Amino acid sequence: MSSDEESVFESIHDTRELLLTKDFVDELTSKINYELTCLNREFGFDPFSRLIPLIVDALASLVDCCEYLQELTESRNVLAKDLRCLEKQFDKEKEYRRLCEFNLLQIEYENEEERRRLNKIVHEQDQLIRTLKCKLKKISDEGDDLEENVFLEDFQKHDSLLRENDALLKERSQLLERIAQLESEGRPDKSSIIDRKCRNCECGNQLAEVASSRALAGRNGTWGRGGWLVICDRT
């Protein structure tokens, strides 16, 4: 029902409520009695004596119906008001849910981009380590007696890159903890699926090789100290 129809309905109801009151019924009853009395005086009998109780009962029932109609109208207005409040609340909840879904997708996209960037850096660092190992093996095989400062500059450059890689790996660990927190809050597990794929790809092997190389260099006491890097092939 539109607002115009509601206003018309309320105006009609107010008019009925104004007319069909107890005073109006009493006044109408007295007028009917007066007219019947006049007819009785003129014709000597009361032709409507049997109809008077029926008319009075009908008017009383009509008043009761109007009261019930008023109660129903009030209940309807309360329900309509509650419905409007619920619709507003539903719209707010819908908008909030849309914003949450958008923010979650944005976070997942940023995390995936960060994973790709870190994996690329890890791969590049692994290639640098492999190249460095090949150079060391070649120098060892050729038996060239080079001075320490000739090789040290190149090695320190790669060492700084590896330190930067360690910082990026730490950042990746923080991102994984953040993803785990989102998953524990009931968010979609797309990030966990991506993370499992990442753990199953070559990144894990590459990280293991990097850690092994650094541990080997640490045992020889030459890592980042300005000395020669000695790698022993124990196989």
Helices and strands, number each (H, E), in the chain: 6, 0
Which candidate, 234, 235, 228, places its Cα nearest to that of 144? 228
Tens of pLDDT, residues 67-89: 888 888 899 999 999 999 999 99
Which candidate, 17, 46, 16, places its Cα nearest to that of 32? 46
Q: The tokens 């309807």 sit on which residue?
A: 76
Give the Cα separation of 207 and 126 in Å (integer).
Answer: 8
pLDDT band at 111 (very low <50, low <70, confident <90, very high): confident
Q: Largest Cα–Cα distance of the chain, in whole Å?
A: 152
Which candidate, 95, 83, 70, 71, places its Cα nearest to that of 16? 70
Percent of the chain at pLDDT above 70? 55
* Cβ atoms 114, 172 nearer than 8 A: yes
Length of the chain in residues, anyone? Answer: 235
Taking the CA of residue 154 as centre, how many other CA atoms within 13 Å lie in the half-sphere pointing to its CB?
13
pLDDT on residue 10: 53
Tens of pLDDT, residues 3-45: 544 544 455 455 555 555 666 667 777 777 777 777 777 666 5
* Cβ atoms 177, 111 nearer than 8 A: no
* Cβ atoms 121, 168 nearer than 8 A: yes
Q: The tokens 């995936």 sit on which residue?
A: 112
Domain ranges of the chain: 3-96, 109-219
